[in-house]
Structure 1
């Protein structure tokens, strides 16, 4: 019933257009700019950004997400006349244990993979720890990354998934579309320009992973936890010159990036690691009926139920 939560609000086309343009503007702008600029111009932009102190650059990158997430909530609540709870889950309340469990799984997996790879070959990995800078990075990450991942999840897996789903009356199309668009909107990241468009398969694959979590669990909770854990590890554990966001992480990769090796690592993540993570969640939360959950149609008899079951005073 997650997609059907969209029927709890007012869904005029112009309300959808206003909300989408206002909240997805940062992604649309980046993508249009990326398409218009040459490779040389993009390299100059990345070079100028690398000259900004890492923590200051991180704050500048993350602050807009806080305002946009607040704007999304404001528009959903007042323009669509919906609760934020209906945007989050089909259950009666938010299950914070799910968020914490998903967060813990990805953090533990990231640390284990890093430790194993470090002991296999750490010739290009250098200790980068600066206590003062890392402490500031840690505070910035804890304070601002929840807004960044919150906007992306509530926008793509929440708002757009639901609005597109109730428009087309099925589940597979919003899953595919939001996953592809989620990937494309990351195309302006430095690693895409430097290693080729093949990197986009990783972003799109990650979009599918998060979308499957959302539809199978009827909520954003697992996707929120996974996305937050992933981004925190990317910021705190190891950084490199071609990372999307430069940080004062514990370690720095000092070698020359090899597109083939990096693409192989991404393929391993999509083909092996992601299915394992889904298997863990499926066992823990007893997921069943995958075909109907991921590709089924939205049944008309559910629509009135979705409209009438909301108890507004008790919602977030």
Structure 2
């Protein structure tokens, strides 16, 4: 299975840099078996069934992009220079793994000062990233980040424009509760309170799980044989309540429909051991590509993904490579908006 099998031509003009408003007005390509239908997210109540269960990722994106100044003493006196930090994930030994621009001149022991009194010390450094230890933790750290940081927009958006105050709302789901993600579960950005209420009124249930999306979700696949790719790990939790709700829907004959690849990867991780979703907590590096045997997913709502990405491989595993090639070719021809702030798709295998 080669990396080029998951490539396609995408005009740059189709990369969305802002979401549409209201959220459910986004277009949605429904792929049901071999049938393609152009609809909108607000049409979901007519596409789902009473007894279906949507699985939502309630992670909350933290303002993980920080601009500060590095400080160290030298023989010529104190040194200060501007530095850009992007937090990636908390570390078991304390502190945060982070990217830095520029990275080369940063040295262990150096202090980086941000606005509002937030500071970080470089604890370790590698060729690609570093570990930072901050001067506050817990609730104090969250408050300091809110004051000093900005939303960590994906690289393909950040290359076109800087984050602004509007992104604080746009890049957060309406059900975000548990802080820790540095990227949004973007399919969930299409929901608002009214759409959720409509779905509940018609008997579509929802279950919340947590997967803290890491910056590794944007890392490119660099190996030609995709089966040798090593996935990044992300922390997640399926509570006993969530597992019981999913089991009840399955027993009643309802469909389990994760909203977003993050929710799908988490519940499939939680179902690996027994074939059904169990209470689960920890890090998952599950890699889903064609040939994967799904244990619990019946359908998926997701955005349109990057060429040669692990997420494109995931949707090909669910629907079939040829079907997804046709769907993506259709989306390009019909000028759907792509990636994090783009349009959605509802993928329903012919067996669902």
Structure number with greater Rg is 2
TM surpasses 0.5? no
TM-score (norm 2): 0.24
Which has the larger helix fraction?
1
Greater RCO (CA < 8 Å, at least 6 residues apart): 1
Which has the larger strand fraction?
2
